[in-house]
Structures are given as structure tokens and as C-alpha cells.
């Protein structure tokens, strides 16, 4: 955990919010009001006497760490789960009972889950008007009416997407819009959005938040679930906090800070400070000189010293990931030189990079970082199988078990059994498994590409604690993130990349975070 206070607190960290709901909100009639919502699974209380309300046209945040009960509550509201006895659920002041998903949709309750649940091979129009064509009897699809409905909704959102394009060909941001449009076609009055901006750039996020505000202005209530607390405080008027399945409270966002909201979510205090160690005399581990790959990055030069954390930030598309992939041997630069501990590198594959002492944690944990159907143990040892071979060139179960147990203990990974599928873990624990997989290779250089995507605030602190410990032991670390607070409070130096070039370098102890944010988002 970061323990000292920063000398320069930016706007997102100053002041505390009043923790009494605004009187104006209290006087209004809730669109949806819940009380005494409990849900028990096999003796485990996933929700315990939770309260919840949302007003017509309100943008409300539902906040809490992974496993706090957010998804369970949403599934109760959307009819997937039935609450325990004595639960109170009111819509427009009228009791609703026996809720199921179909009835919830009929009442105007829509959920846009993080995976969006779209049909990739179908067109935009077909996805938007999909539910309109469901029925008990087969019938011909009226494509003209389908396109007209889809076009009308997209115009209402103020966006233009080719209705004939397949959803597979769309960007993540466009897919989000299609999912929202589908909810509106179904006459949504209340829309839950689960991590809608997790994979979006800042520009795409601003566009999506503008759409959220448009929905609010049209009287549609939006419940926003996000680990990006700056967005929550920007777009929401109130925030309802859950912790360990229990209701903490509902608070106005006016005057609320990310620090205070984090404390409410976790029950812990987080004090932020910049890193101040001078590494100028430390040995150089990674030296990059004039590295170029056409249309991806150009004339990139920098170094990382032993024990140093260098942050790399910039807008999406700046070339950060492309550079990381070249450093890891996944793509070859056309010009320039890279050295590790003074030895010139000419990597032709990621296997050569691993043997040289480079590890890479991808930003796409689900697709590239882990094999989801496989076990926690298999994922942990995936990069070091050769080291586990016995005399018969078969994997030695004793070596394998000892290695898994060692890294689970070192990184404090919360698991049931090593044989459990890695998909059963929370986002934070999955990310620790990814770290364990690469740390088992004993790297000299660790490249972390957006290591906290989809990870809640409490788990983020734990991951950064691990990163700081690795640096303290002498590991050189490249930390890539488009979240400025992450690189500001966790890097010794920060590189700003734009249009494939390094355009600026900052030392956090000598620079304000507001200045870096202004430069990056200019």
C-alpha cells in the first residue's frame, strides 16, 4: 500500500463529500426502490439486507470491490435470481413480485453486461432489433421495419453506424452503442451498464458518457458500474456502495473524491505519494535506441535502470502496445537497437525474449494472458514447463506443485484449489496468476501493459504493492497505462508517447499530475 501523502493533490483528491443524501433526491419518487434484499447461495450470504433506489432520469453509480455483491444485486433486479423472503421491490411505487428476465424487460429493466451479449456475425440492425423479432410463433422478418427502428434509435443517440455492417467489424466503442440501442428499442426505463468503459480510449469514453447524459435527459435512469472512479464522479449524481454483500450507504457525488470513495468501498485507508528515489546511478537494464517500426512507432529511445519503474502513457493508438510487443519479440523493428544488461538483442520470437530475461503481461488478460478453461496451476506454470521436466522428459508433479504453491503464497493469490479453473477467480486474483506465470521465468525486465484493466480498486493496490516489491529487489519494470494516476503514483519516471514517438519525460516528484494529464489529453 502507498503510505505517504502527496505534496500536490490534484482536483480528484481534494475535499470530502457530505454523506447525507441530498434532500431534493429524497423528496422525489423513486423509479425503483428495494429494501431488505438478501440472497444466499449454499449458506453463503451474497447479499444481506441491501437497500437500493434509483430516480427517473438519474445516473447512479453502483460501486464496490469484486465480490461485493454488485452482480448478484443486478441479477435480482433483472429477474435472474429471486431474493430471499421479506424482500421489498417497488417500481413506480408498486410492488413487483415473481420477477423473471422476460418480465423485467417488459417493465423496462435492461442490463448491458461487460461482454455485451451481441451476435458478432449479425448486422448492426439485426442486433439492435433482435428482441423485436422474438415471439412464440415463427414469422417472416420485416427487414425494412427492422432497419427503420435501428436507424431511429441511433439518431436518437446522435450517432451514425452503418446498419449493414457486421458487429464483428465494429470497434468496442461502437459495439457498446449497439448494445445501448438494443436496450432502447425495448423501451428501456432503467439501464444497467457493467464496466462500459473498461476497454475504451479517453475519446471513446467521453463519447459514451455523452450518450449516458443524453439518456438521462430523456428520462431514462442509468446505473453505472465502473472501476474507473474519475468517470463515476464525473457522470453520476449519487453512488451506492456495497461491501461484502452489505449496504454501506448512498452518497452524493458532489464533493466526493476518489480517495474517499475507495475507502468506502474497501473499508481501508489509502494515502498516496509519489516515488522519490533517484536511479540515475543505477546500472542500465534496458537500453532502447532509435527503435522504429513503420506506421507503429518511430525513433523511440529510452532506458530503464535496475530497480526502476518507468511509466509509459499516452492516448490509445499512440503506439505503446506495439512498442511493447517488439520489446517482447512478437514483432520486429525495422531500425534501431535494443540491449539488455549491455548485450545487444535481435529477438525473433517471444521465446527468445523469455530466454533473454524479458516477461510481458498483456493488457488482454482474458484472451492473451490466461487460458480460461485451464486450471490455476496450469496457467501458473505455462511459461516454465521446460524447467519442470524430470529425467524422463515428463513434468515432475513434485516440482510443479512446489512452484505453484510458492507463487500462490508469494503473491497472496486467493484460490480454492490449484486444480480449479482460473476463470473462477476474481479479476484481481486472475491478474496475480498472470504475474506469477511470468515471474516464474525470473525476468530481468517486466513489461506490464495496463495491468489493472477490469481490476477493482482494492485489488489494484495489492497489485501495485507487488510491483513495488519487485522493483525493490532490482527488477526493471515498464508500466504502460492510459490512467495517469496509475503511472503518476507508481513510476519513478514517466514517458509520454504520442503518434508513435516519445514526446516528453516527467519525474513525478517534480511535476504535478494535472500538468501530465493536460499534456496527454491536449
HEC string of 146-181 equals HHHHHHHHHHHHCCCCCCCCEHHHCCHHHHHHHHHH
C-alpha closest to that of 453 among 171, 190, 66: 66
pLDDT tier at 124 (50, 70, 90 boundaries)? very high
pLDDT at 202 over 70: no
**How confident is the model over 236-254, as pLDDT tens digits?**
999 999 999 999 999 999 9
Structural contact between residues 276 and 270, judged by C-beta atoms closer than 8 angstroms: no
CA-to-CA dists, residue 112 to 75, 117, 183, 184, angstroms: 12, 8, 8, 11
Would you list the DSSP string of 269-334? -----------TTSPEEEEEEEEEETTTEEEEEEEEETT-EEEEE--TTSSHHHHHHHHTTSS--S
pLDDT at 30 over 90: yes
Q: At what angle do helices 202-217 and 172-185 cross, to 10 degrees?
A: 10
Averaged over 43-53, what is the pLDDT?
A: 93
Nearest-angstrom CA–CA distance, 346 and 352: 9
Nearest-angstrom CA–CA distance, 212 and 31: 17
As a residue count, the chain comes to: 522
Structural contact between residues 453 and 200, judged by C-beta atoms closer than 8 angstroms: no
**How confident is the model over 346-376, as pLDDT tens digits?**
999 999 999 999 999 987 766 667 887 889 9
C-alpha closest to that of 278 among 9, 3, 509: 509
Nearest-angstrom CA–CA distance, 56 and 33: 11
Longest pairwise C-alpha distance within the chain: 76
256 or 369, which is more confident:
256
**How confident is the model over 138-168, as pLDDT tens digits?**
556 778 888 998 999 999 888 899 999 999 9
Q: Report residue 354 CA to chain centroid gap.
A: 27
Query: Which domains, and CATH codes, for the chain?
Result: 17-29+53-82+99-108+189-271 (3.40.50.300), 120-186 (no CATH), 284-520 (3.40.50.300)
pTM for the predicted model, two decimal places: 0.67
Nearest-angstrom CA–CA distance, 395 and 385: 7
Instruction: Give the model's pLDDT for residue 384.
Output: 85
Structural contact between residues 139 and 128, judged by C-beta atoms closer than 8 angstroms: no
- The three-point CA angle 357-358-363 to 5° equals 160
Cα-Cα-Cα-Cα dihedral sign, residues 329, 333, 334, 339: negative
Instruction: Give the model's pLDDT for residue 61.
Output: 96
**How confident is the model over 462-477, as pLDDT tens digits?**
889 899 999 999 999 9
Q: 251 φ, ψ to 5°?
A: -130, 145
Instruction: Give the model's pLDDT for residue 255.
Output: 85
pLDDT tier at 14 (50, 70, 90 boundaries)? very low
Instruction: Give the model's pLDDT for residue 425.
Output: 84
- The three-point CA angle 415-418-423 to 5° equals 65
pLDDT at 68 over 70: yes
Structural contact between residues 235 and 215, judged by C-beta atoms closer than 8 angstroms: no
Nearest-angstrom CA–CA distance, 421 and 157: 40
Instruction: Give the model's pLDDT for residue 372.
Output: 78
pLDDT at 16 over 50: no
pLDDT at 121 over 80: yes
Instruction: Give the model's pLDDT for residue 109.
Output: 96
Structural contact between residues 60 and 93, judged by C-beta atoms closer than 8 angstroms: no
Nearest-angstrom CA–CA distance, 294 and 176: 31
What is the phi-psi region of residue 454: left when phi exceeds 0, alpha when psi lies from -120 to 50, beta otherwise?
A: left
Amino acid at each position: 500500500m502507498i503510505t505517504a501523502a502527496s505534496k500536490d493533490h490534484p482536483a480528484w483528491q481534494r475535499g470530502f463529500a457530505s454523506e447525507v443524501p441530498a434532500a431534493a433526491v429524497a423528496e422525489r419518487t423513486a423509479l425503483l426502490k428495494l429494501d431488505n434484499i438478501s440472497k444466499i447461495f449454499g449458506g453463503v450470504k451474497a447479499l444481506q439486507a441491501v437497500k437500493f433506489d434509483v430516480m427517473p432520469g438519474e445516473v447512479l453509480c453502483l460501486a464496490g470491490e469484486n465480490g461485493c455483491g454488485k452482480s448478484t444485486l443486478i441479477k435480482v433486479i433483472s429477474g435472474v435470481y429471486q431474493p430471499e423472503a421479506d424482500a421489498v421491490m417497488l417500481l413506480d411505487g408498486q410492488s413487483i413480485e415473481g420477477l423473471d428476465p422476460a418480465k423485467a424487460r417488459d417493465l423496462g429493466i435492461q442490463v448491458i453486461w461487460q461482454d455485451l451479449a451481441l451476435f458478432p456475425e449479425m448486422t448492426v440492425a439485426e442486433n439492435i432489433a433482435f428482441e423485436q423479432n422474438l415471439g412464440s410463433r415463427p414469422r417472416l422478418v420485416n427487414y425494412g421495419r427492422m432497419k427503420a427502428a435501428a436507424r431511429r434509435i441511433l439518431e436518437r443517440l446522435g450517432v451514425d453506424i452503418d446498419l449493414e455492417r457486421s458487429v464483428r467489424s465494429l470497434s468496442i466503442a461502437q459495439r457498446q452503442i449497439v448494445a445501448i440501442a438494443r436496450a432502447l428499442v425495448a423501451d428501456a426505463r432503467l439501464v444497467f451498464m457493467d464496466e462500459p468503459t473498461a476497454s475504451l480510449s479517453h475519446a471513446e469514453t467521453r463519447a459514451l458518457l455523452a450518450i449516458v447524459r443524453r439518456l438521462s435527459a430523456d428520462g431514462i435512469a442509468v446505473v453505472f458500474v465502473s472501476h474507473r472512479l474519475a468517470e463515476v464522479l464525473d457522470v453520476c449524481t449519487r453512488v451506492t456502495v456495497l461491501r461484502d454483500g452489505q449496504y454501506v450507504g448512498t452518497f452524493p457525488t458532489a464533493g466526493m473524491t476518489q480517495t474517499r470513495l475507495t475507502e468506502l468501498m474497501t473499508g481501508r485507508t489509502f494515502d498516496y505519494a509519489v516515488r522519490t528515489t533517484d536511479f540515475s546511478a543505477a546500472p542500465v537494464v534496458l537500453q532502447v535506441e532509435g527503435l522504429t517500426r513503420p506506421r507503429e512507432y518511430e525513433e523511440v529511445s529510452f532506458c530503464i535502470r535496475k530497480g526502476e519503474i518507468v511509466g509509459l502513457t499516452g492516448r490509445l493508438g499512440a503506439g505503446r502496445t506495439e512498442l511493447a510487443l517488439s520489446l517482447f519479440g512478437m514483432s520486429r523493428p525495422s531500425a534501431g537497437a535494443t540491449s539488455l544488461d549491455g548485450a545487444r538483442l535481435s529477438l525473433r520470437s517471444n521465446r527468445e525474449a523469455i530466454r533473454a530475461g524479458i516477461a510481458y503481461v498483456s493488457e488482454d488478460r482474458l484472451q492473451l494472458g490466461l487460458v480460461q478453461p485451464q486450471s490455476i496451476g496450469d496457467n501458473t506454470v505455462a511459461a516454465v514447463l521446460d524447467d519442470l521436466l524430470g529425467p524422463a522428459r515428463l513434468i515432475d508433479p513434485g516440482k510443479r506443485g512446489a512452484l505453484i504453491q510458492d507463487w500462490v503464497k508469494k503473491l497472496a493469490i486467493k484460490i480454492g484449489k490449484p486444480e480449479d479453473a482460473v476463470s473462477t477467480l476474481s479479476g484481481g486474483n486472475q491478474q496475480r496468476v498472470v504475474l506469477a506465470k511470468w515471474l516464474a521465468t525470473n525476468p530481468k525486465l517486466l513489461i506490464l501493459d495496463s495491468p489493472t484493466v477490469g481490476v477493482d480498486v482494492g485489488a489494484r493496490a495489492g497489485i501495485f504493492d507487488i510491483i513495488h516489491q519487485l522493483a525493490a529487489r532490482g527488477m526493471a519494470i515498464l508500466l504502460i497505462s492510459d490512467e495517469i494516476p496509475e503511472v503518476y503514483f507508481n513510476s519513478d519516471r514517466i514517458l509520454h508517447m504520442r503518434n508513435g514517438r516519445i514526446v516528453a519525460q516527467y519525474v513525478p516528484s517534480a511535476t504535478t499530475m494535472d500538468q501530465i494529464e493536460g499534456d496527454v489529453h491536449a
